[in-house]
Amino acid sequence: MSSITSTLAAAVVAAPIAATQPFVLPEMPYAYDALEPHIDAKTMEIHHTRHHKAYVDNANAALEAQGVTGKTLGQILAEVSKYGAAVRNNGGGHYNHSLFWNLMAPAGKGGEPSKELLAAIDRDLGGLDAFKKAFADAAVKRFGSGWAWLIVTADKKLAVVSTPNQDNPLMDIAEVKGTPILALDVWEHAYYLKFQNKRGDYIQTWWNVVNWNEVNRLFGEAIK
């Protein structure tokens, strides 16, 4: 992937809520093998070209069937309870994965939490180690399939939450609402080829590829 293509792909993925219908599968901001050895290339390829593509195609079909046009993904998520399960599951899946790809980077390329983010983590979550434990617990204890999130709430505080299936904290049906700045997919398709049923090992390894540069940027946007 050329540097120009990489930049464009990153820009598309960075703001998935702004995407407008009909939705398209975004290009990856890195090669499928870029996260090796922590996340294997075959998993990344299947995850993107089959699972994410299916969410995009199914979301478009479900919205078309309901006569919904001209909406951004963010607008749809904010009132997803109006549209039924197919839009909730597939629209959610499209947003979640579009965000997820850009929240990872090759090991050693993702930077570190900014001093501003660290200060907020200290204030709201008891420090970086306590945050990582809470986040890992949310991910490993999510029954069945779902996601773990670090969000900025309406009062500009950080919170760790998890959601089932392809739900996310932007949805009007979310138990805890907020702006996601970090997300981890704990559906088995995200890790089973390499880790089988060892979700905890996948979570521990995933920290090596977190794109803190993007987390810092999203945090800065969310607290404005």
Nearest to 162 by CA among 154, 198, 172, 178: 178
Q: Which domains does the chain show, CATH number per domain?
A: 3-102 (1.10.287.990), 115-222 (3.55.40.20)
- As to burial, measured by CB atoms within 10 angstroms (0-12 exposed, 13-18 middle, 19+ buried), residue 4 is exposed
pLDDT digits (tens, 9 = 90+) for 30-68: 999 999 999 999 999 999 999 999 999 999 999 999 999
Residue 76, C-beta contacts closer than 8 angstroms, at least 6 positions apart: 63, 68, 83, 87, 91
Structural element, H or E, at residue 162: strand 158-164
Q: What is the DSSP letter of 111?
A: -
pLDDT digits (tens, 9 = 90+) for 61-115: 999 999 999 999 999 999 999 999 999 999 999 999 999 999 999 999 999 999 9
Res. 4: pLDDT tops 90: no
pLDDT bucket at 16, cuts 50 / 70 / 90: confident
169: cis peptide before it, omega within 30°?
no
pLDDT bucket at 2, cuts 50 / 70 / 90: very low
Tell if the pTM clears 0.85, that is, is over it.
Answer: yes
Tell me the CA distances in angstroms from 181 to 46, 82, 184, 217, one per residue in order: 24, 25, 11, 9
pLDDT above 90 covers what percent of the chain?
89
Res. 6: pLDDT tops 90: no
Per DSSP, the three-state class of 28 is coil
Looking at residue 19, its pLDDT comes to 86
- As to burial, measured by CB atoms within 10 angstroms (0-12 exposed, 13-18 middle, 19+ buried), residue 52 is buried
Looking at residue 31, its pLDDT comes to 98
Looking at residue 1, its pLDDT comes to 39
pLDDT bucket at 20, cuts 50 / 70 / 90: confident
pLDDT digits (tens, 9 = 90+) for 193-203: 999 999 999 99
pLDDT bucket at 5, cuts 50 / 70 / 90: very low
